[in-house]
Amino acid sequence: MAGKTALVTGAAGFIGSHLVDRLISDGYMVVGIDDLSSGKLENLPAEFDLRKMDIRDRELRSVIAEIRPDTVFHLAAQMSVSVSAKEPMLDADVNIGGSLNLLEGIRALGDNVARFVHFSSGGMVYGEPSVLPADESTPPRPLSPYGASKLATETYLPIYERLCGLQYSIMRLGNVYGPRQDPHGEAGVVAIFTKAMLTGKPLTIFGDGNDERDYVYVADVVDAVIMAADSGKPGPFNVATGIGTNPNRIFQLVAGFCNYSEKAVYGPPRPGDVNRIFLDVAKAKAELGWTPQVSLEDGLKTTVEWFKRQCN
């Protein structure tokens, strides 16, 4: 991919920074967009070309016109389910309005329209399917404004294909975990558990701890994203493991790696949370040649080791 240019929104975030590293390693010239509301500069390489701005900023279109990217990887988002439940208009403004601002910038490129890779949420778009694991033909029934905003952006992409010839891929991610995940907030139970255990703090499991999610390691996600970008195929593609794991099991495994002996505190479930979801990844295997490589145990061990180094 030498000579190719990529624009990564949310570049300083958890997944975005891992993607930046991979793109640079693959020979891309990479420019990042991030307002640093949750992303961290230390996640990025030294001298990295990061433009600090909100994806709703009209100046974003000028950046797209300046660098004329071959591929845009769109990760920047309002990603809190609870915030979306409290402030659905804010969630829509960032996740739908910001995405449309980005797409309009791409549309203005004319004949040299960039390829677009959209990061959606398999855990939130499908809601609570009656058949599991959920494949991409499962009717989407989001249970939160966040899930609805991610799905809404998906629906615009074939429209932009008609409007300006946009080529796109939709990635419906499971629960991504790994090094650099932010333990503050709600999105990363693995990071939250690990940080609390390593610092000897009590932690809370919401609900009874038996709800199931599909935990996928960040390096596997980056592999899938690169394969999709290279393939020219729209998807949507589930990017997960096909295995449901509950927070009680995550707690048990992480506690073992952290030598943590305290018991969890159980609290009320959060509004908008899904009780049980895991994803069929057969389509990604068939069309992209992708399968997850990192087991839950190995991924958690590597993640805990990274957090231990940060604590030293």
For the annotated catalytic residues, the residue numbers are 146
Closest CA to 227 of 139, 183, 292, 162: 292
For 108-132, give one letter per residue: b (16+ CB within 10 A) or e.
ebeeebbbbbbbbbbbbbbbebeeb
For every residue of 198-260, DSSP letters joined together read HTT---EEETTS--BB-EEEHHHHHHHHHHHHHHT----EEES-S--B-HHHHHHHHHHHHT-
Q: 253, 297 in Cβ contact below 8 A?
A: yes
CA 286 remoteness from chain centre:
22
Closest CA to 133 of 305, 285, 311, 302: 285
For 138-150, give one letter per residue: b (16+ CB within 10 A) or e.
bebebbbbbbbbb
